[in-house]
């Protein structure tokens, strides 16, 4: 294979990985809707938003956390990631910075560390500067409850409005600027 053909192949594979996100290390159940895996931003109409399901589990620090305990005072951003996910490595420091800058606007962040060990997850969160809580989801059970997100691809991000309704999602990697825009739109929704 020529160098040029090899470079093209590497480029195509990289693009496929980004578009498909970082699929699970092990097979899991498929999303209930093909639209759940569509890469990009989806903002749900206020009248069509559904309540955040009961999701609870252990955090990277070993505490128990129910996600619903974090809703009701402002917007909640739930980001699904893993230490082995290459696009997650790019977005995590931006999300960490955004979490700090939006704290005064009553925006809270929660991470869901997907199919990882707690030790690798803690190390990754620390290196990325993510000081907000992170649930550990080694088997994908928690992610499966969030039906609006794909069960086979990360990173993905769910934005929950102040009423506890799932307001928007981002499938695939995001940037701080893109996420800030989505959060601000959800904050304006009535």
Per-residue pLDDT tens over the stretch 60-84: 999 999 999 999 889 999 999 999 9
For residue 68, CA distances in Å to 65, 94, 101 come to: 9, 25, 23
Give percent of the chain with pLDDT exceeding 90: 73
pLDDT of the residue at 128: 95
Judged against a pLDDT cut of 90, whether residue 15 lies above it is answered with no
pLDDT band at 25 (very low <50, low <70, confident <90, very high): very low
CA dihedral in degrees (63, 129, 54, 103; nearest 10)? Answer: 110
HSE of 136, CA atoms in CB hemisphere, 13 A: 16
Dump pLDDT digits (tens) for 42-59: 999 999 999 999 999 999
Work out the end-to-end distance of the chain between its first and last CA atoms, rounded to an integer number of angstroms: 58
- Residue 84: CB atoms within 10 A of its CB come to 15
Judged against a pLDDT cut of 60, whether residue 10 lies above it is answered with no
Global pTM reads: 0.80
Dump pLDDT digits (tens) for 106-121: 999 999 999 998 899 9
Token duo for residue 20: 């498909």
The closest of 26, 4, 141, 158 to 80, measured between CA atoms, is: 158
Judged against a pLDDT cut of 60, whether residue 152 lies above it is answered with yes
Q: Which domains does the chain have, with CATH numbers?
A: 3-188 (3.40.30.10)
Which pairs count as long-range contacts for 123-126, CB under 8 Å and 24+ apart, including other chains? Answer: 123/83, 124/81, 124/82, 124/83, 124/92, 125/60, 125/92
Token duo for residue 14: 């990289």
Give percent of the chain with pLDDT exceeding 70: 80
Judged against a pLDDT cut of 60, whether residue 16 lies above it is answered with no
């Amino acid at each position: 294979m020529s160098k040029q053909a090899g470079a093209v192949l590497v480029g195509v594979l990289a693009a496929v990985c980004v578009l498909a996100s970082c699929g699970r290390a092990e097979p899991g159940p498929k999303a209930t809707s093909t639209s759940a895996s569509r890469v990009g931003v989806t903002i749900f109409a206020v009248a069509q938003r559904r309540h955040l399901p009961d999701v609870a589990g252990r955090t990277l620090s070993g505490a128990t956390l129910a996600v619903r305990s974090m809703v009701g005072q402002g917007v909640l951003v739930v980001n699904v990631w893993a230490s082995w996910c290459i696009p997650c490595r790019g977005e995590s420091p931006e999300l960490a910075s955004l979490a700090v800058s939006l704290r005064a606007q009553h925006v809270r962040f929660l991470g869901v560390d997907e199919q990882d060990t707690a030790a690798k997850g803690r190390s990754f969160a620390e290196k990325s500067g993510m000081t907000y809580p992170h649930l550990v989801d080694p088997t994908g059970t928690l992610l499966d409850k969030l039906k609006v997100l794909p069960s086979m691809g990360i990173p993905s991000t769910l934005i929950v409005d102040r009423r506890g309704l799932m307001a928007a999602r981002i499938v695939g990697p995001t940037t701080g600027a893109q996420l800030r825009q989505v959060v601000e739109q959800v904050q304006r929704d009535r």
